[in-house]
Structure 1
Amino acid sequence: MSKLATPIAATLLLFLSYAPAAEPLHLENATLVLSFDAASAALTAVENKLTGETYHVSADECAAEAVEFAVDFAKLKATAVNLAGDTLTAHYESEAMNARVAWWLCSSHRFAEKRLTLTARRDCGLKKVVLSRPTFSIPGLQLVCYRYPQFGRQPGQEPISTFFGRTAKGGFFTGVQMPFDASSLIDRELTLAYAPSLKVKAGETLVCEPVYLGVYRRRAADDSPPAHPPIRSPHGQPQPATAEVIPLPSESEAMVTMTSAILGPPRHDLVPMACGWHCEMEHDTYVDEKAVEAEMRSLDFLAECGIDWLSDSHPWGGETQKMNSLGPGDKYVPGDLVLKFLDHARRQDIKVVMWPTMNHTHPWSSKGAAFRSDKPEWLMTPKTLEGKPDIIKGRAGKANCFANRPFFDWLWRINEDGLATGYYTSWAMDGSFFGDGGWFTTIIPVDCTSDRHDHLLGDSNYACQRALDRLIAGVRRNSPGMYIFMCRPPMDLGVWSLRNVDACFTLLESGTPPSNLAAGDEIRKWSRVRVHHHFFPHYLDQPLLFQSRYIDDKRPFQWSGKQLDYILLSALSSSPNQLYYLPTKTGVPDQDKAEIRKWLGWGRKNVAYLKVRKDLPDWPGPGKVDGSAHMVGNRGLVFLFNSGQTALSGEFALTAESIGLEGNGTWSITQEHPAPGRTQTARAGQTVRWEVPAQSAVVLNIQPVAN
């Protein structure tokens, strides 16, 4: 064979292996059709049945880049393509790495997911994985990149990217289910990718992060001016609308419907939790019985308010020196003073959160240290400190690298020791991968320089995220009923860090204003940010109420019992999870404790409605009524809020689009609060207008009228 014939033959074989079949393969449900090349399993078209549009796709190609080699799609030989039910799978081989692609489309979903799995055929350092490079085409298509969460970040530094393809009728959305991915949109060229930066052994299989691809239909609200632009400032000020890509209401709704399906429904009922750290409770080690007895009185106070969950006020029960000295074979068992506190919590039927730490025994105390002083090779040292916040600089070399399997396995066992005591029905995490206490400025890509850990030199970012996901998943697997609640890093990394999680600390973390009217408006605003801008299912948000108080707080005490119903209903309408900052040692009037207890009892009675939510169009603000609807089938609740000085009317329609109401017929609308008894009837499709008194919250009960 001539020298020219060899490359021609190779090219011919490659062409034949990817020759398109006469009939493409399809995944299809009532809203979406995905079409694939039968030979290569590459995506070729997306049909949006909601709009009747078809988006043609080319270059749905995967690739991998390692330190030692690169594998692009042309080097992957398809060895098997199989379509079975709602799943399409394809297997590929190459000299350095094999791949498996799986697409699945559930019958009830308006989105599909794609998962790439790689198996290394030799040891390598895997730097980057391209999950797809799709090019979408249809006349009039506009492609935009929306990055979030924006809180405390400059444009381009946000952790998550979602790409919206917009047409006059609707569009599609796609992205990678992880923060700090490596996806990009340059002109019309979309790349969905991430940087694992992992050491991979020969024969080891890496299950890559999933891609999502969904469709939506535009609705009338998309043509209105943005209700509220994204918030970057930690002080809560929005950016000018012209400075941001903002998701359309139909896009936000489609994204939240998808994240709700992927992350799953609520596992618990109403969870009103007190945050011990901000409730005048001990941050340090209990010094004696007297200190514990003071904490027990705080538990009594919470029980009198009807609060039956408590986030511990100090990590590891405050036993920092014990954690500093734990060795390779030591078990973690809470000490006698901690057990006395936990026993009293049991007597008061208060469920206590176990608060462990990731990589430092007490990141908020000078007494804390890295775990396992006998293992200096487990320490984390940033590649550079230039440009990093001072709290990261101060912790450099004094915390463990979380992306280190031997350390992870030891820490996992210590966590299991704590949970095995049976005292904890909840588990939480807070801090930063750098070992500091965490702030929005420190939740940035991690860059450990050790060559003895799971990651490649100078990039431990994905490996740390994966380790935390694994830790959370392990708690969920071993304790399915555990209430898992996350602070940092997930609260800043965004929705894809919340798998297996029940609640996430809100962004309004330093307490609410003294005025309960202003506080209620802030609670509802930030919860809308979480849902409409960050795509959280509303039941994963954990709105907080009242002002922060430390155990030795010298600030003037500013408790107000006015409009307690307003702030409490703001939180209850936002989520079935709430976090309370209360002066458990200073105290509040008995009538205020009774008011809190009354509304929490009401929330428990109506929790089925609080687990669903559909916001009315207006955001909280002066001169207008905002609110939310909570419908289960053909009945439910509507909340209306007016913090202004004069009475105003709120309105909604008895439709699925307006409030999520199902069915036809006639409904009664009855005011439950503030002055119960007012009733009117209306038919399906009609608009209801309801006067809301000044500085008030109104609760309406909507029930079908029997024929």
Structure 2
Amino acid sequence: TRTYSFPAQRAYFTRKLFVRNDSGSPIILKRVTDCALSFVEPFASADFHDDNMDQGDPGSEMFTETEKPSLYRTSINVFLRNPKGGLYAGLRYPYFKPDISERGLSLSYETNYRLNPGETLELPSTFIGAYRKTGYIYRKELHWAPRILATEQEELDLGEVLAMRQVLRDYLPKEPCPRDGYFTWLNSWWANAELRGKWGDKEADAYCDLAQKVKWTGSLDMISTAPVWCGWVGFIEPCPEIDAIGQEAVFPMNPQIEHAMSCVNDLRLPVSGFCEPNSLNRHYRKDRPDWKLQPTPDPENRLIQNCHANPDYEDWFYNLTVSCIEQCQLSGWAWDHVWLRRPMVCYDSSHGHEPGNCEFQQYRNVTNLIQRLRKRYPRLFIEIYWGLKEAGPWSLRGLNSLENAYENASPPPPGMTPADDLRFQHWFNHNYRFIPTYMNMAQMNFAKEGNGHLYSLLSCLSASTHASLCDWVQFDTPEQGREIFAPMRRWKDWATRNMQYLEDRIDLFGMPCREGGIDGTAHIVGDRGFIFVFNPTDKVRYGSITLTETIGIRKGSRFAIDEISTGSARRAGVRQKASRFTFEMAPKSAMLFELKPTTD
């Protein structure tokens, strides 16, 4: 069965494909070929586009069960290009392969799926659309080798980027947060290293004290736990209590966790937990060695990690997560470390999948788990750190936020700061991975940011609709807390009032952190909005922006531009539409301009 959908005010359509087994015996669906197009005339070029994430690096892979770095390079779409525009086509699935010729295109993927009698299987949907080129080109300008990102050049027209970003925005809608407005929280793992290990009485008391101070700031909506499983153990460290959880999937509490969770809940402060789906030291379901992944036909050859293509195991993992969320009364949940495996091969026929390649089933199980959590807890703040990089943007549905390409500032580009690295990674997210602005993970800092706290705040505001604080400042009284966090509180309030402008953006000037360059973002809706600009270099720089539809202006003819980052508006100019606005930037500085219509 095929179901077509033509979304309103969109330049693309989608088609869902359902396969039903009406026979009386199982059928193995080995491979699917879809999105078969034929052309009367060949396009000038046809190019497959992946997510431009290359592969895991040794620093990450040393903690996983793999002989070589995991491959990313997940599929997004194909661009069929002519001089003035073209088509874009793809499947909402990360592992399709294109077959491109002068006269046609088809996309295929392996399923290796057992379809039982009477069963209906929904396959990944197809999308096909048309776009017009703008002449504005995004290109990589790397003078260093960043972690895990593909470095070979690929130029994309803004028209192509906007077209695919619309497809991804529609597929990855903005999910609600535990509280309305610009959502902020303390990432205790990053900000409070002394609390990362297993909690004893001392650590639980310290966490309660920290939670009280978070409330005093008046600027943070939630606090996360630094250890995994809400205090049981440090990240990727052994924990026999978690290993011992059996079929009932009941999360075990202890006095320290009960004390800490009671404190935050008494304060009415939302709290978030996290875990590792796999780890060399995390032996989930030790009572079921048959659930371990079997990478070869030899049944004695088993890995430590369980098989996530096994629906029974993934259902157990979901139930354990739910038990932890409900017993600890959590408002957020995240996963870090290894989850999806690629290549994913398991030969155990008792796992509910066909032996061999089972990446299709693994992907379905993992993404369905996320969807089940989202349906059960509509306002749960759900994040992914490492764990879904092997599945790319199509796997992110139901999440609020993703760690971008790699841990922020690990390391930053040469001579740059954490905020600069943040903007660099977000630029990749938008223009090569097409991920919506509102899903970016933004990280605010105090002392960790070499260009100052305001520089960090403005970088985060340009990046997303939420942010975590990853750099705690010690204080003793409510008055001190209110004073220290006054800038964050002010900008959080500003962001809440202007959320509609922060949900999307156009990237200006060029790639952040390129040699000698400034960068910025335009957030325009109709005839008004905001422009963030950043100079990460140690020299005075000049910028120029043409006020056209390219940056999002859809109406209006004359605009006032005010610089507002200092706390009071300073008139920077009045310009006609299609004219240039030019400005000067001090070294290592950030500015925020407000653009609005005027008759002046």
TM-score of the two chains, using structure 2 as the length reference:
0.85
Q: Distance in 1 between matches of 2:546 and 2:267?
A: 44
1:35-434 to 2 correspondence within 5 Å?
A: 100-120=1-21, 121=23, 122-138=25-41, 140-152=43-55, 158-185=73-100, 189-222=104-137, 226-228=138-140, 233-235=145-147, 239-241=151-153, 245-268=154-177, 269-279=181-191, 280-287=193-200, 289-303=201-215, 306-319=219-232, 320-329=239-248, 331-332=250-251, 334-358=253-277, 360=278, 363=279, 366=281, 368-371=282-285, 373-383=286-296, 396-421=302-327, 423-433=329-339
Change (3 A) 1:104 1:317: same
> What is the CA deviation profile of residues 357-383 of structure 1, one whole-angstrom value per residue up to 9, with x for unaligned ones?
43x5xx27x3x3122x23222221223
1:570 aligns with 2:484: no
> What is the CA deviation profile of residues 100-147 of structure 1, one whole-angstrom value per residue up to 9, with x for unaligned ones?
112211221111111111112230222211123322343553211122
Change (3 A) 1:602 1:236: farther
Amino acid at match of 2:498: N
Amino acid at match of 1:455: H
Q: Distance in 1 between matches of 2:297 and 2:501?
A: 50
Q: Is the 8 A contact 1:332 1:418 kept in 2?
A: yes
Q: Distance in 2 between matches of 1:300 and 1:384?
A: 55
Residue of structure 1 in register with 2:576 after alignment: 683
Q: Distance in 1 between matches of 2:100 and 2:423?
A: 33
Amino acid at match of 2:344: V
Deviation (angstroms), 1:573? 0.6
Q: Distance in 2 between matches of 1:356 and 1:376?
A: 21
Deviation (angstroms), 1:219? 0.9
> What is the CA deviation profile of residues 560-610 of structure 1, one whole-angstrom value per residue up to 9, with x for unaligned ones?
6752211221121111232332256799x9776544444444433433322
Q: Which runs of 5+ in 2 are unaligned?
A: 57-68, 233-238
1:525-564 to 2 correspondence within 5 Å?
A: 525-546=424-445, 559=448, 562-564=451-453
- Which range moved further: 182-191 or 523-532? 182-191
1:661 to 553, 557, 562: 553
- Which range moved further: 309-318 or 105-114? 309-318
1:475 aligns with 2:373: yes
The SS at the match of 1:133 is strand
2:361 to 463, 469, 477: 463
Q: Is the 8 A contact 1:451 1:457 kept in 2?
A: yes
1:640 aligns with 2:553: no
The total of aligned residue pairs comes to 566
Q: Is the 8 A contact 2:87 2:128 kept in 1?
A: yes
Change (3 A) 1:472 1:143: same
> What is the CA deviation profile of residues 482-528 of structure 1, one whole-angstrom value per residue up to 9, with x for unaligned ones?
22212232244221001111111122305466999632221111100
Q: Distance in 2 between matches of 1:695 and 1:530?
A: 23
Q: Distance in 1 between matches of 2:166 and 2:387?
A: 24
Change (3 A) 1:510 1:678: closer
1:453 aligns with 2:359: no
Q: Distance in 1 between matches of 2:186 and 2:306?
A: 30
Q: Is the 8 A contact 1:310 1:352 kept in 2?
A: yes
Amino acid at match of 1:375: R
1:696-707 to 2 correspondence within 5 Å?
A: 696-705=589-598
Question: CA-atom RMSD, angstroms?
Answer: 3.2
Change (3 A) 1:671 1:682: same
TM-score of the two chains, using structure 1 as the length reference:
0.73
1:468-617 to 2 correspondence within 5 Å?
A: 468-509=366-407, 511=409, 518-546=417-445, 559=448, 562-583=451-472, 593-617=485-509
Deviation (angstroms), 1:423? 1.5
Q: Distance in 1 between matches of 2:436 and 2:583?
A: 28
Deviation (angstroms), 1:261? 1.6
> What is the CA deviation profile of residues 308-351 of structure 1, one whole-angstrom value per residue up to 9, with x for unaligned ones?
33333222223343322222235325333213222333355542
- Which range moved further: 689-698 or 168-177? 689-698
Change (3 A) 1:602 1:664: closer
- Which range moved further: 447-456 or 337-346? 337-346
Q: Is the 8 A contact 1:625 1:648 kept in 2?
A: yes
Amino acid at match of 1:297: D
Change (3 A) 1:330 1:650: closer
The one of the two structures with greater contact order (alpha-carbon pairs below 8 A, sep at least 6) is 2
Change (3 A) 1:516 1:571: farther
Q: Distance in 1 between matches of 2:475 and 2:41?
A: 64
Change (3 A) 1:277 1:586: farther
Q: Distance in 2 between matches of 1:155 and 1:423?
A: 35
Change (3 A) 1:201 1:252: same
Q: Is the 8 A contact 1:230 1:246 kept in 2?
A: no
- Which range moved further: 153-162 or 133-142? 153-162
Q: Distance in 1 between matches of 2:473 and 2:258?
A: 20
Q: Is the 8 A contact 1:491 1:505 kept in 2?
A: no
Q: Is the 8 A contact 2:42 2:103 kept in 1?
A: no
Change (3 A) 1:560 1:510: closer
Q: Distance in 2 between matches of 1:509 and 1:294?
A: 26
Deviation (angstroms), 1:259? 0.7
The SS at the match of 1:355 is strand
The SS at the match of 1:423 is coil
Q: Is the 8 A contact 1:491 1:506 kept in 2?
A: no
Q: Is the 8 A contact 1:309 1:350 kept in 2?
A: yes
Q: Distance in 2 between matches of 1:637 and 1:452?
A: 56
Q: Distance in 1 between matches of 2:359 and 2:388?
A: 13
> What is the CA deviation profile of residues 13-68 of structure 1, one whole-angstrom value per residue up to 9, with x for unaligned ones?
xxxxxxxxxxxxxxxxxxxxxxxxxxxxxxxxxxxxxxxxxxxxxxxxxxxxxxxx
Amino acid at match of 2:335: M
Deviation (angstroms), 1:672? 0.7
Q: Distance in 1 between matches of 2:405 and 2:451?
A: 25
Greater CA radius of gyration, 1 or 2? 1
Amino acid at match of 1:705: T
1:693 to 572, 586, 590: 586
Q: Which runs of 5+ in 1 are unaligned?
A: 1-99, 386-394, 435-442, 548-557
The SS at the match of 2:351 is coil
The SS at the match of 2:357 is coil
The SS at the match of 1:209 is strand
